[in-house]
């Protein structure tokens, strides 16, 4: 019996328009990713990695082709439905953490949970669990300014995990971190993939970070060139 | 709501300054409304069943006293009282040798029919008897008596500004009664017997300033007014009869279009407040473009992000209302603060002004939050994240 892929890109093209210029960012990309995979998306700057990630997260729409994630053709959803779908199915981790500075670690993690029909107590329990999973059980009431870069990124990962998404998308998650913190974050992502079965896709320039993934995809000028599986 | 509150605390000084700016604007609005209300107090306490007959030219022209009996014969008239604006200045010696001067409304009136025409003035029966028994006695509002530190039996000296006394001295009165009142009637007036004025003044004998006329049916106001004026149309002293409200409005119109002036000042102040608030919100919105994009990436809807910015803006405006509007209301309505009690016997912020102020606060909040809110609403998360 064939298993339906969690991500199915069919002949996806993305063109940006800057004035009269067309910028081809993705060129007829076709890709399937199975549930539970850990993918590293690599390539030089401007190769279309982040665009691909945004398409998978429903933050952007393709110029041509079809993007199906978690069994849902994203082109069929309105902006409001897409927002709701993201809240239920996707967790984002960004290079510069992007925690809300006015909220504590716990409150930052609770934030996406406010979109779910949960009581305040349930939200708090979920947030605390997510923070313990990333090893920050002791720093729940600290604000981002009171945390190190590595800890901030772990809070961001806990926030992405809080709603128990099917898919975790990370854009350069180690880009702003020192080598040790970067390694810690990659170990954490690997553990989330292996122990909790999370499907994870990271965009990275860093070959050391990419080594944690089980499959590497290389993009160049919007074309998927090469795959490597460990 | 919690996020709105936390975001306001993100730049406490900026938020505090914006709230303060809004508070000053709304406080000033409430103060202007209190002033307008004070000017209008005489108009508000007018009764539809009372008419005023004055000289057709102006209130400064006098009418013959003989008109009273002719007016009283017109059908539908219940009673008539003559009255003259006295305009005396209160003077009392001060311990340091100086003079305390106070100005307040003071009239000579035909006391018996006047008090029947104005049941709003409450005088105890004993005090009424005492007042009627003393020709130099006067009736004073309780607020005025308190302001002057006077009580029943005390003497009051008024320096005449219009009606000199025959002996060239100040006019002397004895307080025989102090009135309280119902509703918003002016409690800072002084009234005395017209006969006392007639006998003491050095000119103007046989003349009166105007007549208060009580009518049985307020709906007959037009016909009775016309009938009175017709009686004297060809006489040397033609009359102009108006209802009490129109009469009181004359005093306001003497000061020009105060309402327009005050409203103009209020509008300018509120527009300035709108600009300050809008500027703050636009800065705040621009600084947080990335955060808005992140919220959208997390699954928050466009409307939620819009509401967050507009909510912050409305919260700032409402805080300003509480600080400025409610602050001024408490100072005036609870603390009885009055910038010029002799000029504004009734000085309160009306309830309608408070409703308007809260409405203006909400509207200003929405308007100043709408530009950054719409920018956030239209923000494409992918583009915003890519551009930063």
ipTM for the whole complex:
0.84
- Both B368 and B327 in one domain: the answer is yes
> Chains A, B: CB contacts under 8 A, how many?
68
The predicted structure's pLDDT at residue B388: 45
Give the pLDDT band (50/70/90) at residue A91. very high
- Both B96 and B170 in one domain: the answer is yes
The predicted structure's pLDDT at residue A19: 83
Instruction: With a cut of 90, say whether residue A170 has pLDDT above it.
Output: yes
> B173: which strand partners?
B156
Arithmetic mean of pLDDT, A70-87: 91
CATH number of A7-229: 3.40.50.300
How open is the CA angle A24-A29-A33, to the nearest 5 degrees? 140
**DSSP code for B201:** B
Instruction: With a cut of 90, say whether residue A80 has pLDDT above it.
Output: no
3-class DSSP state of B43: helix
What is the largest distance, in Å, between two alpha-carbon atoms of chain A?
54
CB contact under 8 A, B299 and A86: yes
- Tokens 């665009």: give the residue: A51
The predicted structure's pLDDT at residue A40: 94
- Tokens 């279309």: give the residue: A48
The predicted structure's pLDDT at residue B108: 95
- CA-nearest residue to A52 within chain B is B382
State the Cα–Cα distance between residues A51 and A120, nearest whole angstrom: 35
Q: Which domain holds residue B111?
A: 62-236
State the Cα–Cα distance between residues B36 and B40, nearest whole angstrom: 6
- Both B179 and B129 in one domain: the answer is yes
User: Is there a domain that residue B128 lies in?
Assistant: yes
- Both B193 and B159 in one domain: the answer is yes
Say if residues B229 and B240 touch (Cβ distance below 8 Å).
yes
- CA dihedral (B317, B319, B323, B329) positive or negative: positive
State the Cα–Cα distance between residues B30 and B25, nearest whole angstrom: 9
* CB environment B52-84: b (16+ within 10 A), e (fewer): bbbbbeebeebbebebbeebeebeebebbbbbb
Q: Half-sphere exposure of B129 toward its Cβ, with a 13 Å CA cutoff?
A: 2
Dihedral pair phi/psi, residue A227, rounded to 5°: -125, 145
- Both B84 and B7 in one domain: the answer is no
User: Is there a domain that residue B25 lies in?
Assistant: yes
State the Cα–Cα distance between residues B296 and B330, nearest whole angstrom: 43
- Both B271 and B220 in one domain: the answer is no
3-class DSSP state of B111: helix
User: Is there a domain that residue B56 lies in?
Assistant: no
CB contact under 8 A, B7 and A102: yes
Tokens found for residue B202: 């050095």
Give the pLDDT band (50/70/90) at residue A11. very high
Instruction: With a cut of 90, say whether residue A142 has pLDDT above it.
Output: yes
Strands A215-220 and A38-42: parallel
Boundary of a domain, candidates B236, B267, B293: B236
- Tokens 């998404």: give the residue: A165
Q: What is the mean pLDDT of chain A?
A: 90
The predicted structure's pLDDT at residue B98: 83
Residues of A with CB under 8 A from a CB of B: 50-51, 54, 57, 59-60, 79-80, 83-88, 90, 92, 94, 98, 100-103, 111-112, 115, 159, 163, 171
- Both B182 and B277 in one domain: the answer is no
- Tokens 């670690």: give the residue: A105
The predicted structure's pLDDT at residue B252: 67
Say if residues A112 and A127 touch (Cβ distance below 8 Å).
no
Three-class SS of chain A: CCCCCCEEEEEEEEEEEECCEEEEEEEEEEEEECCCCEEEEECCCCCCHHHHHHHHCCCCCCCEEEEEECCEEHHHCCHHHHHHHHHHHEEEECCCCCCCCCCCHHHHHHHHHHHCCCCHHHHHHHHHHHHHHCCCCCCCCCCHHHCCHHHHHHHHHHHHHCCCCCEEEEECCCCCCCHHHHHHHHHHHHHHHHHHCCEEEEECCCHHHHCCCCEEEEEECCEEEEEEEC
The predicted structure's pLDDT at residue B256: 64
> B233: which strand partners?
none
Question: Measured between CA atoms, how close is B292 to chain A, in angstroms?
Answer: 10
The predicted structure's pLDDT at residue B386: 66
How open is the CA angle B268-B271-B275, to the nearest 5 degrees? 135
Say if residues B170 and B159 touch (Cβ distance below 8 Å).
yes
Closest-CA residue to A109 (of A81, A84, A139): A139
User: Which candidate in A45, A58, A100 is best for mutational testing of the B interface (most B CBs within 10 A)?
Assistant: A100
The predicted structure's pLDDT at residue B74: 93
The answer, as to whether pTM is greater than 0.80, is: no
The predicted structure's pLDDT at residue B253: 67
- Both B181 and B271 in one domain: the answer is no
Instruction: With a cut of 60, say whether residue A2 has pLDDT above it.
Output: no
How open is the CA angle A186-A190-A192, to the nearest 5 degrees? 115
CB contact under 8 A, A54 and B7: no
- Both B317 and B232 in one domain: the answer is no
How many angstroms separate the Cα of B350 from the Cα of each of A99, B38, B195, B321? Answer: 47, 10, 39, 15
Strands B171-181 and B155-159: antiparallel
Closest-CA residue to A123 (of B361, A134, A131): A131
| Domains contained in chain B, number | 2
**Dihedral, B236, B227, B82, B163 alpha carbons, nearest 10:** -30
User: Which candidate in A59, A92, A127 is best for mutational testing of the B interface (most B CBs within 10 A)?
Assistant: A59
State the Cα–Cα distance between residues B100 and B145, nearest whole angstrom: 15
CB contact under 8 A, A102 and B10: yes
Collect all residues of chain B within an 8 Å Cβ-Cβ radius of residue A94.
294, 385
State the Cα–Cα distance between residues A152 and A136, nearest whole angstrom: 10
- Both B192 and B225 in one domain: the answer is yes
Tokens found for residue A94: 């960004």
Question: Measured between CA atoms, how close is B20 to chain A, in angstroms?
Answer: 22
- CA-nearest residue to A54 within chain B is B382
Tokens found for residue B332: 């005036």
Q: Got the DSSP string for B258-303? A: HHHHHHHHHHHHHHHHHHHHHHHHHHHHHHTHHHHHHHHHHT--HH
Residues of chain B with pLDDT under 70: 1, 41-46, 184, 251-256, 342-343, 386-388
* CB environment A176-187: b (16+ within 10 A), e (fewer): bbeeebbbbbbe
CB contact under 8 A, B297 and A92: yes
Collect all residues of chain B within an 8 Å Cβ-Cβ radius of residue A115.
298-300
Give the pLDDT band (50/70/90) at residue A193. very high
- Tokens 């993100």: give the residue: B10
């Amino acid at each position: 019996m064939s298993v339906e892929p969690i991500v199915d890109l069919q002949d996806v093209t993305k063109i940006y328009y800057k004035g009269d210029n067309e910028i081809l960012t993705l060129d007829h990309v076709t890709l399937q990713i199975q549930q539970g995979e850990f993918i590293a998306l690599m390539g030089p700057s401007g190769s279309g990695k982040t665009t691909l990630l945004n398409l998978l997260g429903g933050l952007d729409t393709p110029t041509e082709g079809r993007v199906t994630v978690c069994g849902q053709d994203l082109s069929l959803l309105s902006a409001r439905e897409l927002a709701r779908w993201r809240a239920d199915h996707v967790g984002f981790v960004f290079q510069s953490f992007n925690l809300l500075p006015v909220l504590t670690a716990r409150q930052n993690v609770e934030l996406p949970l406010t979109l779910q029909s949960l009581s305040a107590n349930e939200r708090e329990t979920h947030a605390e669990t997510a923070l313990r999973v990333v090893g920050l059980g002791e720093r729940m009431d600290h604000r981002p300014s009171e945390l190190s870069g590595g800890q901030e990124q772990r809070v961001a990962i806990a926030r992405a995990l809080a709603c128990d998404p099917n898919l975790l998308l990370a854009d350069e998650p180690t880009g702003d971190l020192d080598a040790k913190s970067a390694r810690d974050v990659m170990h954490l992502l690997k553990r989330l993939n292996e122990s909790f079965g999370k499907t994870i896709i990271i965009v990275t320039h860093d070959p050391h970070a990419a080594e944690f993934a089980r499959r590497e995809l290389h993009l160049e000028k919007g074309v998927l060139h090469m795959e490597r599986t460990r | 709501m919690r996020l709105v509150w936390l975001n306001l605390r993100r730049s406490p000084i900026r938020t505090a300054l914006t709230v303060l700016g809004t508070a000053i604007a709304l406080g000033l609005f409430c103060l202007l409304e209190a002033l307008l209300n004070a000017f209008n107090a005489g108009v508000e306490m007018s009764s539809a069943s009372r008419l005023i007959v004055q000289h057709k030219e102006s209130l400064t022209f006098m009418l013959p006293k003989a008109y009273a009996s002719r007016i009283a014969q017109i059908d539908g008239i219940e009673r008539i009282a003559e009255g003259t604006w006295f305009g005396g200045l209160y003077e009392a010696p001060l311990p340091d040798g100086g003079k305390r001067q106070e100005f307040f409304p003071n009239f000579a009136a035909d006391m018996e029919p006047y008090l029947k025409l104005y049941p709003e003035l409450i005088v105890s029966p004993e005090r009424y008897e005492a007042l009627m028994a003393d020709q130099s006695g006067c009736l004073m509002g309780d607020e005025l008596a308190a302001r002057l530190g006077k009580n029943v039996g005390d003497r009051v000296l008024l320096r005449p500004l219009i009606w000199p006394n025959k002996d060239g001295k100040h006019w002397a009165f004895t307080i025989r009664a102090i009135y309280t009142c119902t509703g918003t009637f002016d409690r800072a007036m002084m009234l005395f017997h017209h006969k006392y004025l007639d006998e003491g003044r050095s000119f103007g004998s046989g003349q009166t300033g105007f007549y208060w006329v009580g009518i049985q049916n307020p709906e007959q106001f037009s016909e009775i007014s016309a009938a009175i004026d017709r009686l004297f149309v060809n006489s040397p002293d033609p009359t102009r009869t108006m209802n009490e409200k129109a009469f009181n409005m004359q005093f306001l119109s003497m000061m020009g279009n105060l309402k327009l002036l005050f409203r103009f000042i209020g509008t300018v102040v509120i527009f300035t407040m709108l600009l300050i608030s809008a500027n703050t919100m636009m800065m705040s919105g621009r600084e947080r473009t990335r955060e808005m994009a992140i919220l959208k990436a997390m699954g928050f809807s466009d409307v939620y992000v819009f509401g967050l910015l507009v909510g912050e803006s409305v919260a700032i405006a409402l805080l300003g209302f509480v600080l400025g509007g409610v602050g001024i209301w408490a100072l005036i309505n609870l603390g009885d603060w009055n910038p010029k009690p002799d000029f504004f016997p009734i000085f309160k912020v009306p309830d309608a002004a408070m409703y308007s102020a809260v409405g203006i606060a909400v509207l200003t909040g929405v308007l100043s939050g709408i530009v950054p809110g719409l920018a956030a609403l239209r923000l494409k998360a992918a583009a915003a994240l890519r551009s930063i």
